């Protein structure tokens, strides 16, 4: 069964280390997320050249908007969007609508086929 990954669920995902992220937030405070295991940073703050590896570990992706630039987006990308990964803020209105509808339809079909299997 498909699992919807939302931001509030990410703490339960695998690949999370025990140390705090060494990054700082835009407000200049220490990041209080836990590191991706072995990277020393959470997925928001992991260096760009290690990002793909860190994504493999945790199983979700970071938005690639302005990737590699100081003001790059650090939100977690939507799990149902094809590459390049993009967060809900940077998904264009058109894509947001069509992708979301396709996703919800897929969910409904999944559920429907399971119901039929059970009964
Ligand atoms: Zn962090
Ligand atoms: Zn974004």
Question: How far apart, in whole angstroms, are the C-alpha atoms of residue 30 and residue 21?
Answer: 8
The whole-number pLDDT of residue 74 equals 92
Tell me the pLDDT tens digit for each residue of 81-94: 766 888 988 887 65
Cis peptide upstream of residue 89 (ω within 30 degrees of 0): no
Please check whether residue 65 is in contact with residue 72, taking contact to mean a CB–CB distance below 8 angstroms. yes
CB 36 within 8 A of CB 17: yes
Ligand 2 centroid–CA 91 distance in Å is 7
Q: What is the mean pLDDT of residues 97-104?
A: 73
The whole-number average pLDDT for the span 2-20 is 64
**Residue 53 — φ and ψ, nearest 5°?**
-65, -45
The answer to whether the beta carbons of residues 80 and 103 sit under 8 Å apart is yes
Centre of ligand 2 to C-alpha 86, Å, is 5
Q: What is the pTM of this model?
A: 0.66
Which ligand is nearest the CA of 44, by number? Answer: 1
Ligand number with the minimum distance to the CA of 62: 2
């Amino acid at each position: 069964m498909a699992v919807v990954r939302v931001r509030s669920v990410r703490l339960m995902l695998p690949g999370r280390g025990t140390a705090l992220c060494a990054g700082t937030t835009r407000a200049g405070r220490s990041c209080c997320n836990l590191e991706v295991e072995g990277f020393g940073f959470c997925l928001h703050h992991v260096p760009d050249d290690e990002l793909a590896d860190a994504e493999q570990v945790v199983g979700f992706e970071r938005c690639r908007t302005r990737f590699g630039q100081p003001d790059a987006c650090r939100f977690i990308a939507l799990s149902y969007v094809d590459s390049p990964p993009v967060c809900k803020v940077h998904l264009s209105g058109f894509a947001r609508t069509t992708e979301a509808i396709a996703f919800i339809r897929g969910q409904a079909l999944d559920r429907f086929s399971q119901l039929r299997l059970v009964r």
